[in-house]
Amino acid sequence: MQWEVVIGLENHVQLTTQSKIFSGSSIRFGAEPNTQASPVDLALPGVLPVLNRGAVERAIRFGLAVGAKIAPQSVFARKNYFYPDLPKGYQISQFEDPVVQGGTVSFAYEKDGKLETKTVNLTRAHLEEDAGKSLHEDYAGMSGIDLNRAGTPLLEIVSEPEMRSANEAVAYAKALHSLVMWLGVCDGNMQEGSFRCDVNVSVRPVGQKEFGTRCEIKNLNSFRFMEEAIHYEVRRQIELIEDGGKVIQATRLWDPDRKETRSMRTKEDAQDYRYFPDPDLPPLVIGQDWIDRVKAEMPELPGALRARFTGEYGLPEYDSLVLTSSKAMAGYYEAVVAKAGKENAKAAANWMMGDVSSTLNREGVDIGDAPVNAAQLALLLKRIADGTISNKAGKEVFAAMWEAKSDDENLADTVIDQKGLKQISDTGALEAIVDEVLAANAKSVEQYRAGKEAAINALIGQAMKASKGKANPAQVTELLKQKLAG
């Protein structure tokens, strides 16, 4: 039997406010346990929550970016469940009438060696508070409770179940991750729990309209773990069904050491949480004037920037996609082009996607911390374009610039001079070299004149060798052709 995979994601995005969603407590990561939990976070008698305006504005910003409806009025509800790290016995969230309704996220991914694009519809994005954290590893026979995270502002973004492979799901999650960072609503730090993924996975026979029974894999904080978890869960469900078993709706955890999902608890449905409107919080009313103010402060969005890169700089679609993968990458690229000129826009894109990206990955450095700044790279590109150095020598110069970690905007020229990498472009000097090569390689000359055009490559190689790699290859080639035609 052929099976179809059905995947939907719920992403918990920690918002970049300075304080919690209903209290003034700090959300700084890494503080000593229980030092950032106020009476409101602890739900002590007599306290009242007060909604953080900054959290709402970040939700509006996200909604505008995905083309969603911003609800003119939404309601906070109490979601009742009982865990040791949830001091109130309920979580303040939104159930009916979430603040962000609908919207889409478009992304590109590779399929069978080709670049594919896909658009996934969003169901909703709602504001809520985070719970605390249970600590098990450091306590023999006991669990510790850290309530520092209790009340941390979250935007939970829920997609429709429209993804059909782990590849699509990971590409969607990466696009969403990039977007929330681009907008400044989340710092994107997955290791610190700022961006967490819950993946709902089910399978069904190809052609069947009804969904299969889903299982939710909770709190994935790595794209690699997400991909591995989906692959495992798909295999598990298919093998279970084919062996005559039945998938039970459940919440599961990914064990990265054993490379398997394991059951955490039977999956709850909405009615199990006994939602009801929070009596301490009035409805959230968002007027059009507020939406307009947020919209006026929005940055240029990735889709618009991709279109501009393609139109203004003549870049292929793939280049534009890569260069807008993050706001920092796009900003760096534009700064390079501003200094190097639009005539070098494609060369700048090639360098960004090639040497720059590979060095960043190898060194584990973000583009914003690259020791070669945009102005320095631009000068290097101009020296390659004007024939001062070859593209091959440019790679050597770039590596030296990276190691130098200097702020000198003329660093490329300094390195070129220090290493003696300037190409010989003087016609007289090159002509002398070419004459010597022709005289010493009569056989190659004879082959070329007999119609074997590839023979010129050997002559070019000899000329470059004679010049110790410093001859301008374009000029050498032109001179050889002129003399061979004479």
Between CA 68 and CA 59 the distance in angstroms is 11
Which strand (E) or helix (H) includes residue 235?
helix 223-242
Query: Phi/psi zone of residue 67: left (φ > 0), alpha (ψ -120 to 50 degrees), beta?
Result: left
Between CA 441 and CA 459 the distance in angstroms is 7
Query: Phi/psi zone of residue 103: left (φ > 0), alpha (ψ -120 to 50 degrees), beta?
Result: left
Residue 346: what pLDDT?
Answer: 97
Closest CA to 175 of 224, 117, 241: 117
The single-letter code of the amino acid at 295 is K
Between CA 14 and CA 291 the distance in angstroms is 21
Residue 269: what pLDDT?
Answer: 65
Between CA 221 and CA 177 the distance in angstroms is 11
Beta-carbon contacts of residue 83 (< 8 Å; ≥ 6 apart): 131, 134
Closest CA to 381 of 347, 356, 353: 347
Between CA 293 and CA 203 the distance in angstroms is 44
In the structure encoding, which two tokens stand for residue 124, read together? 């909703």
Residue 301: what pLDDT?
Answer: 94
Residue 267: what pLDDT?
Answer: 60
Residue 486: what pLDDT?
Answer: 65
Between CA 374 and CA 368 the distance in angstroms is 10
Asked if 107 contacts 135 with a C-beta cutoff of 8 angstroms, the reply is: no
- The full length of the chain comes to 486
Q: Tell me which residue has tokens 């360098």.
A: 351
Between CA 278 and CA 77 the distance in angstroms is 5
In the structure encoding, which two tokens stand for residue 446, read together? 């004879």
Residue 252: what pLDDT?
Answer: 95
Instruction: Spell out a b/e string for 104-132, using b for 16 or more CB atoms within 10 Å of the CB, else e.
Output: ebebbbeeeeeeeebebebbbbbbbbbbb
Asked if 149 contacts 36 with a C-beta cutoff of 8 angstroms, the reply is: no
Beta-carbon contacts of residue 292 (< 8 Å; ≥ 6 apart): none
* Stated pTM of the model: 0.83
pLDDT by position in tens, the chain (length 486): 899 999 999 999 999 999 999 999 999 999 999 999 999 999 899 999 999 999 999 999 999 999 999 999 999 999 998 888 998 999 999 999 999 999 999 988 888 888 888 999 999 999 999 999 988 877 778 889 999 999 999 999 999 999 999 999 999 999 999 999 999 999 999 999 999 999 999 999 999 999 999 999 999 999 999 999 999 999 999 999 999 999 999 999 999 999 999 988 776 666 678 899 999 999 999 999 999 999 999 999 998 999 999 999 999 988 998 999 889 999 999 999 999 999 999 999 999 999 999 999 999 999 999 999 999 999 999 999 988 888 888 999 999 999 999 999 999 999 999 988 887 666 777 778 888 888 888 888 878 787 788 878 888 888 888 877 777 777 778 888 887 876
Residue 268: what pLDDT?
Answer: 63
Give the domains, in start order, of the chain with CATH numbers.
3-288 (no CATH), 301-419 (no CATH), 427-485 (1.10.10.410)
Instruction: Spell out a b/e string for 39-75, using b for 16 or more CB atoms within 10 Å of the CB, else e.
Output: ebbbbeeeeebebbebbbbbbbbbbbbbebebbeebb
